[in-house]
Amino acid sequence: MKSQRVQRKMGTSCGSAVTSQTRMGRARVCVPSSRRRTSQGSSSLQGLARHVVARAAMTEAPERSPSPSRVDLRDEGSPTANGLFTNTNPECRRVVPSEKQMEGKTTTVKVVYVVLEAQYQASLSEAVEKLNNRDAVTSGGVGVEIVGYLLEELRDAKNYEEFKKDVETANVFIGSLIFIEELADKVIDAVQPQRERLDACLVFPSMPAVMRLNKLGSFSMAQLGQSKSVISSFMKKKKQQGSGGFEEAMLKLVRTLPSVLKYLPSDKAQDARNFMLSLQYWLGGSADNLENFLLTIAKAYVPEASKLASVQIAEPVVFPDAGIWHPLAPAMYEDLKEYLNWYDTRKDMTFEKDAPVVGLVLQRTHLVTGDEAHYAATVMDLEARGAKVVPIFAGGLDFSGPVKKFYFDPLNKDKSYVDCVVSLTGFALVGGPARQDHPKAIETLKTLNVPYMVSLPLVFQTTEEWSDSSLGLHPVQVALQVALPELDGGLEPIIFSGRDSRTGKSHALHDRIESVCSRAIKWADLRKKQVKDKKVCITVFSFPPDKGNVGTAAYLNVFGSIYKVLKGLQDDGYDVGQLPETDKELMESVLNDTEARYNSEDLNVAYKMSVPEYKKLCLYQEALEENWGPAPGTLNTNGEDLLVFGKEFGNVFIGVQPTFGYEGDPMRLLFSKSASPHHGFAAYYTFVEHVFKADAVLHFGTHGSLEFMPGKQVGMSDGCYPDSLIGSIPNLYYYAANNPSEATIAKRRSYANTMSYLTPPAENAGLYKGLKELSELVGSYQGLKSSNRGIQIVNTIIDKAIQCNLDRDVNLPEVDAKDITEEERDTVVGSVYKKLIEIESRLLPCGLHVIGCPPSAEEAVATLVNIASIDRPELEPPLLGLPTLLARAVGRDIEDVYRNSDNGVLDDVNLLQDITMASREAVTEFVNESVSKDGRIDATFVDIIGKLSGAKEDPWVRALKKTAFKNANQQEMEKVFGYLNFCLQQVVKDAELDSLMKALRGEYVEPGPGGDPIRNPDVLPTGKNIHALDPQAIPTSAAVQSAAVVVERLIERQKLDNGGAYPETIALVLWGTDNIKTYGESLAQVMLMVGVRPKPDALGRVNKLELIPLEELGRPRIDVVVNCSGVFRDLFVNQMNLLDRAIKLAAEQEDEPLEMNFVRKH
C-alpha cells in the first residue's frame, strides 16, 4: 500500500495572494499564496479551474492580493519557514577535540569549510576524529577543530553571522563548488578581510571571484591571473571556456604536475605543488586522503604546528578521474570490456540474453567519500528487475566524454550498448552547476540515441524538510538540477535519495528508487520489444466537462491528428486493427456523437472494471475515499462497475480521460479541504497500466488533468497523485509549441516527454460591416479631400466612427468639419484610419493544426510575414525586418513612421499600410514558388528554391517592381529571404510524427525551446521535446533593451494622458508563458520602471542588480504593483526573489527626493 497522502496540493496557481511590502512603504510584488495548509488541495485544482474559464486563450489567471505582507517564497509552518535555505544546523558539522584527545598536545588548528553539497561532511568529520585520536607524537602535537557550512545555509542571517565569527578565528579556510553568485559574494565578504591573517585559504573549483581567495604561501590565484607563466595561461584559458572547463583544467594539472611545475620559479614551486597536492587529496575524498590533506596544510602553513615537521604524511591515494563503478566490483574500471568481463562472469547474478541495459551517471565525489549507499540501492533494484547496469562516473563537470567512452558497444562503436541512461547527479550533462554547454550535451545524447532520464538527490534539503514541504524540491535545486537538465533533453525529475540532517550522508528513498528503476526499464523495453507487440494508449480529454468537448485540445484537430498518427503507426508495423476509412468515422466509433458529453451513452465503453479488481490493482484507492466515499463512487460508473470509455484498435487503445471532478459542478473540488482524483479517474489509469498493459501512453493535445492533480509542485513523493496515476508507463504528450510554461508542468509532474506541435498561424482579422464602410469612406476622402466634398466626407466619417464606437479610442471633434482646418481634418481621418488598420491587422489563429500535416500556402505566408516583420540584431549576421528595409527604400525611418502613424498623421498611416501590403506581396511571391498541387507547401520545392537563390529573378524583386520600394537594399533583402527560406524549411519538416515514432522506439527526442515561433523561430521545427529556459538566465540583455523601449513609450503615453505629470503607480501582470516567449521582457519592464537594471554574474546568471542613477534615468522611479500568475511564481522563484530585491533597492534610496522616487514616497 502507498502511504496516506499528506501533500494534497501543487502550486500552479492559488486563490489568494500575499504582497511584498518594502521597508519604505507601498512598492510591492503580489505573489500567489499556495502554501497555506488550511486549504490543502486548492492550488492545483484552481490552476485547472483557470482553464475551465479561458482554455482557448491559454491564459494563466493572476491573483488578487488581500493584504500586504513580506514576500514569502516558502511553506508556512514548514521546517524551511526561514526562507530559501535548508533548516539544518551547521553545528552538526562542528568537531572539537575533547580534553582527552588534546592530552600532550599544544596546538589546535581550526578549519572552516563551505561546500555546495554535503557528501564531504562524513569524510571530513571522520578524518578529523582520526587526527584527534592520534597521540601527541604522531599528531605533531596538533588537534583539529573543524566546522562546515552548506552554501545554502549562508542565506540565513544567523548562520551567516556564525560563519563570519568562525572565519575570524580560523587557521584554514576551504571552499568547493561555490557557483551561486549571491552566496559567493557572501563567502567573499566574510573571507576576504581575513585572507591575509589566515594561514591557508584553499578554494577548489568555484566561481573565478571566489577562486581568487586562494592563498598558500606565495601561491595565489590572483597572481596566476596576472603572471605570464605557462600554468597561468593554461588555467586562464580553461576558465574562460566554461562548460566545466576550469575543473577539467585543474584535473589535467594534477595529472601533468611534474611537467607543469618545472616552469614555475623555484620559490613558488613548493607552494604550487602543495596546492596541486591538496587538490589531489580533496578529489580523492576518502577519510585517509582528507586526513593527510589537513596534515599537509597544517605542516606547511600553520606556524604553531611546527612539530608536524617530523611527521611522515602519505601521498594521495589516487582514484580514476572517470570510469565504471559497481558496489560489488573489486575495483573501478577504466575500460568497458574489462568491466563486462567481470560483470558477465558474476556468480551472484544471471541475466536474460536480451536483458535491458541501463546506464547510470554518478558523481565521483560520492564514490570517493564513501557516500554511495543511494547509488548501490539503485544498482541493486535495477538488477533485481532483470536489467544489466553500467554505472559510470567522472571527476570533472563534463560527462560527455565518459558517455562516449563507456556507453557504446565495444564491438561496434556506432551502436549504443545501453538502452536507457539515468543520470543520478541531477546536473546538466556538461558543466554541472557551473557554465553549461547544452549543444555539446545534445550532440552527445543524439549520437547515443537512447532515452535520457535525470533523477535527483536531495541537495539543499533534508529528507524531512522535503517530505513536509508542499512545495517539494528546493527552488535553487529546481533551477540547477531540474531546469538545466531539461535543456539537455532530460526527463522525469524524480527524487531518488534523501539526506540525513545529522551526518549529511545520502540515503536511498526506496519507494522513489523503485519508481525510477521501473520507469527506466519501461523506456528500455521500448527498444527491445517488437513493434507488432507494442501496445499504445492514446488519451484524449474532455474539458470543460459536460460541454460536448470530448476529444478537443488547444489549436488542434484531435481526431484528424489521431488518424494521421494511426496511419503512421500502421505503416511502421504496429497492430492497429481494422481502421475506419476516415477520421470522422474514427471519432464516431469512440464518441458515437460528435457533441458527446462525458459519462453518457454518447461514449463507447471499452472496459467495465469490477470493484474487487479495482481494489486489487489500484494500490492507493483507499486514500480517495475521504473525498469520494467507497468505490465505485458516482462518477464513471453504472452503479456496480467502474467504466473506462474509449475503443481498442488492435494494440492501440483510444481512451477518454475522465473529468476532473463533479460533472455538474466541476469547481466543487476547489473548495474542498483536501483533494484527490475520483475513483473513475484512478480506474482509467489503472486499466491502462495493469489491464491493457500499455507500453506507452500518448496524451493528445493541450491539455489534460493528470499533471494538475494534487501533490508537490516538483520532486514528488509516492503520496502525490500524478506520480501514482502515471505509474511506470512512459508518458508522451503532444503539447502546443506556444505554451512552454504549462508544458513544463506536464514534464515535471506527469514525467512527460512533451513533444511540440505547431499552432495555427495568426492571420489578420480583417474588417466587417460598419468598419468596412468606414474604411471605404477614408479611401474616398484621400482622393477627394481637396474638393468640395472633402468636408462632407469628414463629417460622415465622424458620424460613422461614433456609430462603430471608435469615439472611445479616437479623439473626434465635437464641431462640424468645416470649422476645423484641413490639417486638423487630415489628423482626424488619419487617427480613424490608424485605428481601422489596427483592428484589421489584429492577429487571430487560423483554423486547427493537424499533426504531421504541412501548412497551406496561405498559412505559410501568414507565418513568414510575421517572422519577417521583426529586426533580429541578435543573429549573426544581424537581420533587418522587411518594414525597416522598405521604409529605408523611400528614405524614411520605420520608427518615425510608426510614431507618426500612432499620432494619426495621414500620410504616414498610408505609408505604413503600403509597407505592410508590400511585405505581404513579397512573401506571397516567395511562398508560391514552393506550393504543390494540393495547395500545401512541398518541402522538396523549398529546398530547391534555396539552392537556386540568385540563379533567376528573386520572387521578392518581382513583387516590388511596381511599387515605391523597388530600390530596397538587395543585399539586405537577400539575407532576409534566405532566413525566411530556412524558416520555411523548419515549418514544413515532418518532425511531429517522426518524434513520436522515435520515442516509441525508445530513442532520444531532441529538445528545443517552446514559445512563439514568430519571435523565436528556434521553436521550429515542432516535434521537439519542449523545454522552457534556464530560469536564472532571464531577463536577457536583448529583453532588457526591448523592455527599455516599451517602458519609455508607456510612461510617455501615461504622461500625456495625465496632463503632463508622470504616473506615480503602474500595475502589471507577469505571466509565465509570456516571459518564456520574450526571455523575461515584462520582468525587465518592472525593474526598469523602478530604475533598477538586472545584470548577469560571471556565469551568465541574472542575479545581480544595478541602481540606475536619477541623472541617467531622467525621470522619477515609478511605483509598480505587480500581480504574478501562479505559473510565473512557480517557474521563476529565483526571479521572484530578484524582483523583491529590486523593489527594495529602489525604496531604500533615502537621499532621493520623494517627487523623484514614487516607490519610496508610497
- pLDDT tens-digit readout, 737-746: 888 888 999 9
Q: If we measure between CA atoms, which residue out of 876, 788, 790, 866 comes closest to residue 826?
A: 790
Average pLDDT over residues 116-124: 89
Main-chain dihedrals φ then ψ at residue 108, nearest 5 degrees = -115, 120
Higher pLDDT, 793 or 508: 508
- Grid cell of 564 as nine digits: 494521421
How does residue 517 score in pLDDT terms, banded at 50, 70 and 90?
very high
Grid cell for residue 725: 496515476
Average pLDDT over residues 982-1004: 90
Instruction: State whether residue 801 is helix, strand or coil.
Output: helix
**Please, which pLDDT band fits residue 840 given cuts at 50, 70 and 90?**
confident
pLDDT at 334: 94
pLDDT score of 601: 56
CA-wise closest residue to 49 among 472, 672, 597: 672
Give the pLDDT of residue 25: 33
pLDDT (tens digit per residue) in 15-64 = 323 233 333 333 333 433 333 323 333 333 333 332 322 222 333 433 43
Higher pLDDT: 630 or 502? It is 630
Grid cell, residue 341, equals: 568481463
Average pLDDT over every residue of 288-316:
90
Per-residue pLDDT band at 87 (split at 50, 70, 90): low
Model pLDDT for residues 394-418, shown as the tens digit of each residue? 987 789 999 999 999 988 888 999 9
Calpha distance 826→781 (Å, rounded)? 9
Highest averaged pLDDT of the listed ranges 586-590, 602-606, 679-683: 679-683
Q: What percent of the chain has pLDDT over 70?
A: 82
More confident residue, 989 or 173: 173
Cα–Cα distance list, 725 to 280, 670, 685, 705, 808 (Å):
47, 20, 6, 11, 52
Confidence of residue 1129 (pLDDT cuts 50, 70, 90): confident
CA 365 vs. chain centroid, Å, equals 27
What is the predicted pLDDT for the residue at 257?
52
What pLDDT does 46 receive? 33
Give the three-state DSSP class for 454: strand
Helix ranges, 625-688 (H)? 625-628, 679-686
473 closest CA partner among 1070, 59, 875, 75: 75
- Mean pLDDT, residues 277-283 taken together: 89
pLDDT digits (tens, 9 = 90+) for 416-438: 999 999 999 988 898 877 667 88
The model's pTM: 0.80
464 in the Ramachandran plot: left (φ > 0), alpha (ψ -120 to 50) or beta? alpha
Which residue has better confidence, 1054 or 995?
Answer: 995
Angle at 437 between CA 432 and CA 443, to 5 degrees: 115
Lowest mean pLDDT among 655-664, 996-1005, 1139-1148: 655-664
With 60 as the cut, is the pLDDT of residue 2 above it? no
Helix, strand or coil for residue 514? helix
Output the pLDDT for position 899: 80
Work out the mean pLDDT of the chain and round it to a whole number: 81
- Quick one: pLDDT at residue 492? 95
Q: Is the pLDDT of residue 806 over 60?
A: yes
Over residues 725-745, the mean pLDDT reads: 92
* Cα–Cα distance measured from residue 560 to residue 550, given in angstroms and rounded to the nearest whole number: 14
- Is residue 820 predicted with pLDDT exceeding 90? no
Q: What is the pLDDT of residues 1083-1097, one digit of tens each?
A: 999 999 999 998 887
Residue written as grid cell 563570519: 164
Whether the predicted pLDDT of 145 surpasses 50 = yes
Q: How confident is the model at residue 846 (pLDDT cuts 50, 70, 90)?
A: confident
Type and span of the H or E element at 1115: none
> Which range, of 20-24, 422-426, 771-775, 814-818, averages the lowest pLDDT?
20-24
Structure confidence at residue 499 (pLDDT) = 87
1063-1069-1073-1076 Cα dihedral, nearest 10 degrees: 40
Highest mean pLDDT among 943-952, 994-1003, 1130-1139: 994-1003
Query: Considering only CA atoms, which of 1091, 1090, 1105, 1099 is closest in space to residue 1135?
Result: 1105
Cα dihedral 138, 142, 148, 154 in deg (nearest 10): -160
Residues 6+ apart with CB under 8 A from 297: 172, 199, 200, 202, 216, 274, 278
Contacts of 1141 (CB under 8 A, 6+ apart): 1105
Backbone angles phi, psi at 1068, to 5 degrees: -135, 155
pLDDT 10s digits, 925-947: 888 877 766 656 666 655 554 44
Longest dimension (CA), the chain: 115
SS3 at position 416 = strand
Q: Cβ contacts of residue 972 below 8 Å, gap of 6+?
A: 880, 885
Question: What local confidence, expressed as pLDDT, does residue 405 receive?
Answer: 94
pLDDT band at 478 (very low <50, low <70, confident <90, very high): confident
Confidence of residue 242 (pLDDT cuts 50, 70, 90): very low
In the chain, the percentage of residues whose pLDDT exceeds 90 is: 39
Flag the least confident range among 83-92, 112-121, 887-896: 83-92
The x, y and z cell numbers of residue 1117, run together, are 522611479
User: Sign of dihedral through CA atoms 1108, 1112, 1118, 1120?
Assistant: negative
Mean pLDDT value across residues 697-724: 90
In this predicted model, what pLDDT tens digit does every residue of 754-767 receive, in sequence order?
Answer: 999 988 876 666 66
Give 874's contacts (C-beta < 8 A, 6+ positions apart): 1038
Query: Pairing between strand 752-757 and 731-736?
Result: parallel
